[in-house]
Structure 1
Amino acid sequence: MRTILTFICLFIFSWVTAQDNEQIASPVIVTKVGIGQEITFDGITIYFKEVLEDSRCPSGVTCIWAGQAKVVIEVKEKGKLLSQKEIIFGQTKEGEITNKTLFDYGNYRLKAFSIEPYPEYEKITDVTTYTLLVYKEKK
């Protein structure tokens, strides 16, 4: 009887698993760049030049269109301008594309994450308070 009970217990416990092997994504670590400021990653400098538009729907309001924010950044290496890009956050219009890649180099890519602050109802955003959130991503 004891042998049968032991066999049954071993059989039942062989089907038990502790937990699923689920891969958890690492958190994205961003760097804030104020308007008119620059940040350097491994010799590549990202300069947050200007905000062209911020028509995002303010928080606390229901809008027909979600809106968008457009910014201009410059990519430099050792002071030399490599490119100037327009980055769009939010909904795109016909013919526009959303490409938040700022620069590709080696095994990494610099990308724009978002722009802050988000517009609020009946509050005018001071242009000098805008910050661009940038992160480095492995290809």
Structure 2
Amino acid sequence: MFHKAIIFSLGIFALTGCDAQKKTKADKKNTEMSTNTTTSDQKNGIIYLNEGENKFLRDSDMNVTFKGISEDSRCPEGVNCIWAGVAVAQVEVMGTSTRPMMLYLATMNHPGKNYRQSADFNGRTITLEEVTPYPKAEGGTSALAGKYKIGISIKNMEIPSDSTKK
């Protein structure tokens, strides 16, 4: 009888432990899945996103996700380099009635290497304004994986006026 009581109490403890794990996993998943519908992370018209972060921008009716940095050849702090280098951010955008589109935005324009700082999407121009943190000599870019933060600006595309129309 004593063995049955021990086995029964161990079973109860195991089940309550499983239930607690399910609740923490569900809470974690809900916080990860929640999208920011915010303009509070905007400063001077720049929207800031952490790596992996997703935001729905009501002003622009679009969803923006910072997927990561595909290239970071920027010259590390404290090192003399011939070329300043460039960082390329992968930004996925999707309008309320469009399919998702991946934009590769660079920290500088260099047409010869196909680097573009801005891209047009759904009647708006999306520009990469900044990428932080800057690489350091001792850790390089490998130490920055998952820690990147970008700042983008979104402006309505300017329609050129045609002087030949009446």
Q: Conserved in 2, the CA contact under 8 Å of 1:112 and 1:133?
A: yes
Pairwise CA RMSD: 2.6
What SS class does the counterpart of residue 129 from structure 1 fall into?
Answer: coil
Matches within 5 A, 1:49-128: 49-78=67-96, 81-90=99-108, 92=110, 94-101=112-119, 103-105=121-123, 108-124=124-140, 125-128=143-146
Q: Conserved in 2, the CA contact under 8 Å of 1:70 and 1:86?
A: yes
1:44 corresponding residue in structure 2: 62
Greater RCO between the two (CA within 8 Å, min separation 6)? 1
- Structure 2 gap ranges (5+): 1-42, 159-166
What SS class does the counterpart of residue 81 from structure 1 fall into?
Answer: coil
What SS class does the counterpart of residue 128 from structure 2 fall into?
Answer: strand
Task: Report the residue type matching 1:37 in the other structure.
Answer: E
Q: Give how far 1:73 is off.
A: 1.2
Q: Give how far 1:81 is off.
A: 2.9
CA separation of 1:72 and 1:57: change in aligned 2, threshold 3 A: same
Task: Report the residue type matching 2:46 in the other structure.
Answer: V
Provide the aligned length of Structure 1 versus Structure 2.
111
Q: Conserved in 2, the CA contact under 8 Å of 1:56 and 1:69?
A: yes
Greater percentage in strand: 1
Residue 46 of structure 2 corresponds to residue 30 of structure 1: yes
- Structure 1 gap ranges (5+): 1-26
Task: Report the residue type matching 1:76 in the other structure.
Answer: M
Per-residue CA distance 1:28-73 (angstroms, 9 max, x = gap):
3312111111122232011111211111001221101111111211
Report the Cα distance in structure 2 between the residues aligned to 1:62 and 1:123, rounded to whole angstroms. Answer: 16
TM normalised by structure 2 equals 0.56
Report the Cα distance in structure 2 between the residues aligned to 1:51 and 1:74, rounded to whole angstroms. Answer: 12
CA separation of 1:37 and 1:112: change in aligned 2, threshold 3 A: same
Greater percentage in helix: 2
